[in-house]
């Protein structure tokens, strides 16, 4: 969070040493460059301190003796000035070297870190994303990564340089005058106390300011999204009043924060001037009485001006480094998350059938798939992929002690269309999540073509399935690329065929650039129904034996639904299909309808059978009981 003078209000890390060690592991590949950086900082700091000390011999040996001399020999003076210039030039060069190297080290380290973070994130189970907000994860890639960049490229080298400068100057000040050094240290202690007191108050108010900013921004975003609702209920004056109240609180917090931040530097600046004046006065008296020479007092005064700045930088950089370490701990928390486990060993392969009906694996693409099942004796058997799915006494809960499904048993024969209906929370979507192995079953079994799905590799299992979700997500890219996402090697002809199957071809042709129309912001330039049609086309191009439709037509009007019904029937032909629907008209032609309640299947049968039974489905269908 922004703090006084553009700094961040620090968030303290939980384990500084452990976090630093992990960061250093990422930087280990650049250890030779880091050695050069350390040497460059040492030379740069030494040049700065040594250059100031040269004022003493220049003044004592050349300037003071030459006062009043009509024909002074300037050779030695010019040589000393040349030496001073060379020392400062070396300091400038080494400063450039270590800054340039640290930029390279920081960008390369962040490249590796981002790669590891994204790669690991893709290996995490669905449960992790269900329990963490998108904003929370995005902050790892933005705020937390950015604080590390600042720490590596600027924070650490500046802290090291400032600390060395403080130590070097302090040693030189002691050499020049221990008495004046004691005076400087005493006044610096007073300055640090003032900085701590005022800086602490400023940081507190800046935290309050950031809190109010977040609260106000959240309210503005909420009102902008709900503007139609605001206007429908004439709540403009009400929301303006709420905004004014929040804005006033932000104004008060910001005023206090910037008041203390604004007075801190003038106070420190004036105290440093007082220190300089007092040092000059005391040093002058000491020089008059012969306890100090003019060259020493000149060098000492220059050191005094240089002493306060690195001390202030040390405080600022420590604040920045602690914030970065806290951000890195949040990144490492994600990297330490346990990746999705996959103990499966059954693979999905292309197959061809000989005259005897036996299956054999083949490298070429065919219209037949088979499960490759390795045995303990080293032999391999092949089972034709048909789409037979069976649940056997499956009990499951997302949280321990809270079951969502209770001993659910069901079967879907190849080519059958199975529908799930029931109230929200009954367990319909959970069943499809288990088929995909988004979550593994702790109790009971799910068999796919007679194989326990825990034995099937997750990637191969999911390759045999295709889903159309209620919440459609489209990626930045063309319409063609979004449909092809279901099968990356699909030809343009296959994409067009899939679009026609989903009845999306007609509206795609009317887009500005047809299939090459660019979609952004999750397809914001399309209607919700059009986005859903593209999702259906994406599932169609994958050509899977098992299809899961989770409220796939919930966002489509009845006219559009009628348009795609034929295409959907063609798509579902010969496939095992699981349909979740609140709109009961979409499940009438299902081979079997499962009615769920509290995680249990309470009714099963086709439409006519369930209507005749006059149970829960009958109540739902006739409107005697509303789905919620």
Q: Indicate the pLDDT class of residue 44, thresholds 50, 70 and 90.
A: very high
Kindly list the distances between the CA atom of residue 356 and the CA atoms of 29, 348, 359, 360, 425, in Å, as whole numbers in the listed order. Answer: 59, 22, 9, 11, 48
- Exposed/middle/buried for residue 599 (C-beta within 10 Å: 0-12, 13-18, 19+): buried
Separation CA 75–CA 562 (nearest Å): 100
Residue 176's contacts (CB-CB under 8 Å, 6 or more residues apart) are 56, 296, 299, 300, 303
Cα angle vertex 96, ends 93, 102, to 5°?
140
Return the bridge partners of 359, or none: 353
Nearest CA among 525, 482, 534 for reference residue 506: 534
Separation CA 368–CA 353 (nearest Å): 8
Nearest CA among 188, 341, 213, 216 for reference residue 278: 188
Which three-class secondary structure state does DSSP give residue 177?
A: coil
Take residue 311 and report the two structure tokens written for it: 């001390």
SS3 labels along 556-582: CCHHHHHHHHHHHHHHHCCCEEEEECC
pLDDT tens across 245-283, in order? 989 988 988 888 778 777 777 777 777 788 888 888 998
Asked if residue 279 lies in contact with residue 307, where contact means CB atoms within 8 angstroms, the answer is no
pLDDT tens across 319-328, in order? 678 778 888 8
Mean pLDDT of all residues in 32-57: 92
Token pair 């009954």 is found at 426
At 445, which helix (H) or strand (E)? strand 443-448
Q: Quote the pLDDT of residue 267.
A: 76
Tell me the percentage of the chain whose pLDDT exceeds 90: 20
* Residue 138 in this model has a pLDDT that exceeds 90: no
Q: Indicate the pLDDT class of residue 40, thresholds 50, 70 and 90.
A: very high
What domains are there in the chain, each with its CATH number?
A: 4-335 (1.20.1560.10), 347-384 (no CATH), 389-622 (3.40.50.300)
pLDDT tens across 573-596, in order? 778 888 887 667 677 788 899 888
pLDDT tens across 186-210, in order? 888 887 787 777 767 777 777 777 6
Separation CA 506–CA 492 (nearest Å): 16
Cβ neighbours, 10 Å, residue 298: 21
pTM of the predicted protein model: 0.73
Asked if residue 528 lies in contact with residue 570, where contact means CB atoms within 8 angstroms, the answer is no
At 435, which helix (H) or strand (E)? helix 428-435
Residue that wins the pLDDT comparison between 321 and 431 = 431
Q: Quote the pLDDT of residue 1.
A: 38
The sign one gets for the Cα dihedral 613, 616, 618, 624 is positive
In this predicted structure, which of 99-108, 166-175, 303-312, 603-612 has the lowest mean pLDDT? 303-312
Cβ neighbours, 10 Å, residue 602: 14
In this predicted structure, which of 90-104, 296-310, 390-404, 453-467 has the lowest mean pLDDT? 296-310
Asked if residue 503 lies in contact with residue 563, where contact means CB atoms within 8 angstroms, the answer is yes
Which three-class secondary structure state does DSSP give residue 415?
A: coil
Residue 246's contacts (CB-CB under 8 Å, 6 or more residues apart) are 212, 215, 216, 219
Q: Quote the pLDDT of residue 391.
A: 92
Q: Quote the pLDDT of residue 390.
A: 92
* Residue 36 in this model has a pLDDT that exceeds 90: yes
Mean pLDDT of all residues in 416-430: 85
Cα angle vertex 371, ends 366, 375, to 5°?
135
* Residue 123 in this model has a pLDDT that exceeds 50: yes
Asked if residue 539 lies in contact with residue 533, where contact means CB atoms within 8 angstroms, the answer is no
DSSP codes joined into one string, 494-508: HHHHHHHHTT-HHHH
Which three-class secondary structure state does DSSP give residue 470?
A: coil
Q: What is the mean pLDDT of the chain?
A: 84
- Exposed/middle/buried for residue 149 (C-beta within 10 Å: 0-12, 13-18, 19+): middle
Kindly list the distances between the CA atom of residue 550 and the CA atoms of 150, 201, 379, 428, 441, in Å, as whole numbers in the listed order. Answer: 45, 54, 39, 9, 20
Q: Indicate the pLDDT class of residue 312, thresholds 50, 70 and 90.
A: low
Q: Indicate the pLDDT class of residue 135, thresholds 50, 70 and 90.
A: low
Nearest CA among 395, 399, 421 for reference residue 407: 395
Residue 34's contacts (CB-CB under 8 Å, 6 or more residues apart) are 27, 105
Q: Quote the pLDDT of residue 626.
A: 47
């Amino acid at each position: 969070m922004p703090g006084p003078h553009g700094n961040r209000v620090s968030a303290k890390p939980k384990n500084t040493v452990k976090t630093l060690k992990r960061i250093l592991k990422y930087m280990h590949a650049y250890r030779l460059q880091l050695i050069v950086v350390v040497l460059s900082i040492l030379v740069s700091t030494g040049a700065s301190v040594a250059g100031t000390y040269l004022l003493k011999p220049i003044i004592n040996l050349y300037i003071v003796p030459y006062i009043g001399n009509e024909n002074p020999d300037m050779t030695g003076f010019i040589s000393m000035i040349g030496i001073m210039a060379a020392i400062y030039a070396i300091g400038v060069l080494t400063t450039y070297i270590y800054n340039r190297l640290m930029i390279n080290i920081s960008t390369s380290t962040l490249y590796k870190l981002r790669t590891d973070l994204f790669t690991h994130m893709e290996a995490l189970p669905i449960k992790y994303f269900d329990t963490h907000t998108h904003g929370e994860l995005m902050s790892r890639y933005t705020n937390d990564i950015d604080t590390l960049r600042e720490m590596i490229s600027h924070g650490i080298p500046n802290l090291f340089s400032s600390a060395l400068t403080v130590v070097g100057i302090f040693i030189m000040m002691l050499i020049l005058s221990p008495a004046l050094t004691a005076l400087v240290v005493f006044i610096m202690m007073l300055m640090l106390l003032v900085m701590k007191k005022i800086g602490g108050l400023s940081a507190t108010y800046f935290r309050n300011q950031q809190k109010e900013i977040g609260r106000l921004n959240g309210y503005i975003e909420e009102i902008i999204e709900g503007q139609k609702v605001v206007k429908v209920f004439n709540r403009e004056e009400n929301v303006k009043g709420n905004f004014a109240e929040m804005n006033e609180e932000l104004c008060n917090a910001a005023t206090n924060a910037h008041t203390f931040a604004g007075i801190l530097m003038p106070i420190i600046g004036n105290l440093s001037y007082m220190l300089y004046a007092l040092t000059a006065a005391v040093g002058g008296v000491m020089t008059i009485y012969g306890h100090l020479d003019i060259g020493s007092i000149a060098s000492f005064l220059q050191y005094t001006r240089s002493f306060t700045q690195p001390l202030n930088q040390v405080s600022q950089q420590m604040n920045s480094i602690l914030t970065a370490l806290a951000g890195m701990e949040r990144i490492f928390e994600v990297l330490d998350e346990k990746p999705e486990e996959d103990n499966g060993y059954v693979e999905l392969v292309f197959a061809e059938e000989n005259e005897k009906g036996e299956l054999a694996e083949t490298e070429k693409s065919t219209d037949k798939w088979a499960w490759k099942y390795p045995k303990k004796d080293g032999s391999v058997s092949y089972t034709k992929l048909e789409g037979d799915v069976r649940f056997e006494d499956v009990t499951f809960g997302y949280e321990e002690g809270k079951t969502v499904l209770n001993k659910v048993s069901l079967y879907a024969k190849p080519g059958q269309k199975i529908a799930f209906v029931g109230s929200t929370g009954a367990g319909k979507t959970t069943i499809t999540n288990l088929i995909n192995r988004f979550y593994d079953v702790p109790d009971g079994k799910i068999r796919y073509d007679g194989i326990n799905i825990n034995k099937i590799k997750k990637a191969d299992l999911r390759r045999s399935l295709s889903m159309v979700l209620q919440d459609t997500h489209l990626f930045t890219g063309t319409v063609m690329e979004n449909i092809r996402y279901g099968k990356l090697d699909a030809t343009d002809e296959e994409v067009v065929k899939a679009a026609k199957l989903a009845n999306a071809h007609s509206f795609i042709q009317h887009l500005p650039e047809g299939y090459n129309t660019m979609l952004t912001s999750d397809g914001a330039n399309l209607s919700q129904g059009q986005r859903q049609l593209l999702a259906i086309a994406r599932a169609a191009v994958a050509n899977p034996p098992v299809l899961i439709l989770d409220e796939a037509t919930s966002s489509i009007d009845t006219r559009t639904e009628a348009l795609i019904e034929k295409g959907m029937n063609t798509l579902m032909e010969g496939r095992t299909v699981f349909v979740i629907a609140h709109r009961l008209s979409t499940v009438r032609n299902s081979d079997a309808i499962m009615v769920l309640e509290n995680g249990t299947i309470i009714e099963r049968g086709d439409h006519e059978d369930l209507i005749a039974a006059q149970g829960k489905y009958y109540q739902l269908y006739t409107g005697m009981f509303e789905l919620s």
